Homo-oligomer: A and B are copies of this chain.
Amino acid sequence: MLIHLDFQSDIPIYLQLKMQIIEGIATGKLKPGESLPSVRQFAEDLGINLHTVNKTYNLLKQDGFILVHRQKGVVVNPDEGPKVTEEYLTQLHTELRPMIIEAFCRGMSKEEFNKICSQIFLELKEKGEG
C-alpha cells in the first residue's frame, strides 16, 4: 500500500497516516490480519519520526483498527473492526461542525452538502469493489 504524506498540509502527519491506513482497510487494500510495518521500519520508509508512527499506531490500536502483538507485530484487526460507537459519533459531530458552519455561511444548502458526502461514499464503494 502506497502512503502519500503532504508535509505542507495543515493536517498533522500522524493524522494523515492514520486516515490512509483506515482508507486501506475501508477499501480492502489492507486485509484483516495483514501485517503492517514495524514503527521503526515505517518511520524509515516514510522519512518521519518514530514518535509520529507511534502516535498513529496508538490511535489506531485504541480505536480497534489494528492490534499490536508481542510476536506477530502490528496487524490489521483480524476480526470485525470498530463500529459506530457513541464516542465516535460525538467525535464525528465535533469534526463536521466547523465544516458545515463554513458551508452554511457561504450559502450552501444541506442538500448540496449531502450530495458531496454521498459522492465520496460512492467513490469509496467503487474503490472497494474494484
Binding site for B on A (CB under 8 A): 10-12, 15, 19, 22-23, 25-26, 65, 81-84, 88-89, 92-93, 95-108, 110, 112-114, 116-118, 120-122, 124-125
Nearest chain B CB to A115 CB, angstrom units = 9
Query: What chain B residues lie within 8 Å of A96 (beta carbons)?
Result: 99, 116-117, 120
Across chains A and B, which 4 residue pairs bring their CB atoms closest together, nearest first? A26-B105, A19-B98, A110-B121, A114-B114
**Complex A-B: 10 CB contacts under 8 Å:** A19-B102, A22-B102, A23-B101, A88-B106, A92-B116, A95-B99, A96-B120, A100-B120, A100-B124, A101-B124
Which residue in chain B gives the minimum CB-CB distance to A89?
A: B116
Query: What chain B residues lie within 8 Å of A15 (beta carbons)?
Result: 10, 98
Which residue in chain B gives the minimum CB-CB distance to A19?
A: B98
Which residue in chain B gives the minimum CB-CB distance to A97?
A: B120
Asked whether, in the complex, the Cβ of B108 is within 8 Å of the Cβ of A103, the reply is: no
Query: What chain B residues lie within 8 Å of A108 (beta carbons)?
Result: 84
Which residue in chain B gives the minimum CB-CB distance to A82?
A: B106
Query: Once bound together, how far apart are the Cα atoms of A98 and B84, in whole Å?
Result: 16
